[in-house]
Amino acid sequence: MILAVVTARGGSKRLPGKNLRPLGGRPLLWYSIRAARLARLVHRVVVSTEDASIAEAARACGAEVIPRPASLALDESRSVDAVRHACLAVEAAGERPRAVVLLQPTCPLRSPGFIDAGVGALLASDADSAVSVSEERLKLGEVVDGIYRPFYPEGERKQDLPRRWRENGVLYVTRRDVVVGRGSLFGDRILPLPTEPLMAMANIDYELDFQVAEDLYLRHRARLGLEPAPEPIPMEAGVAWTR
């Protein structure tokens, strides 16, 4: 069994209420739940939250809810601890997953096919995890005592910089024993999952990020393998958001 865990706490300070905020006519939370439900290699979808409104919305979106202890929903709480808690709750009910998929609602443009690709890649390998990454070639430096110190020679072209990869937050697939036994999403051997750039561009922390994500969805949903934008719907309790 492959378990997908959508982590959605209610206490965001940078963008309050973001997990229930409408994007393209649906609450942000809906996109991660929907992608997981459509993924062929995911068998069970749960939402980990401490927030009653998010829990109600998650059930309306077609997911099970794992109530998260308040101690795991603080600003400094780690995602892996919420994932581990959800996994143990599922196991206590008698079902043990082979691997766990972490889906953060703040990355709404991942496709079901990308989830399947990540799960399939991990299961076909001897890696501990598979993590989505984006290629970057950046002219980085540091500021010390008000002075900028570049890490690259003056005049070096961007295309000549070393090839680097950035963890982008879109997808994490981890073997169960690594999550539960070691409290890690990575383990020792991490399989890279190169990500469609548009998918990785939508990573919501602030108001502008939300606007960018919605624009990307409305303009590029066909390229990303996402369904057409639905008609806007009311956010009252009990609305069937699964349609």
Instruction: Summarize pLDDT for 131-176 with one digit per residue, the tens.
Output: 999 999 999 999 999 999 999 999 999 889 988 999 999 999 999 9
Closest CA to 128 of 85, 48, 182, 195: 182
Per-residue pLDDT of 50-61, as tens digits, reads 999 999 999 999
| Domains identified in the chain and CATH numbers | 2-134+167-220 (3.90.550.10)
pLDDT at 228: 58
Structure tokens at 236: 């009252």
How far the first Cα of the chain sits from its last, in Å, is 25
Q: Helix, strand, or coil here: 159?
A: helix
pLDDT at 225: 81
Per-residue pLDDT of 31-43, as tens digits, reads 999 999 999 999 9
Q: Is the pLDDT of residue 241 over 70?
A: no
| Angle, vertex CA 82, rays to CA 179 and CA 208, nearest 5 | 115
Neighbours of 231 (CB within 10 A): 5
Q: Find tokens 């919305």 and name the residue.
A: 57
Q: What is the pTM of this model?
A: 0.91
| Percentage of the chain exceeding pLDDT 70 | 93
Structure tokens at 213: 């994500």
Q: Helix, strand, or coil here: 25?
A: coil
Q: Find tokens 């206590």 and name the residue.
A: 92
- For β-strands 64-67 and 147-150, DSSP reports them as unpaired
How confident is the model over 167-196, as a mean pLDDT?
A: 98
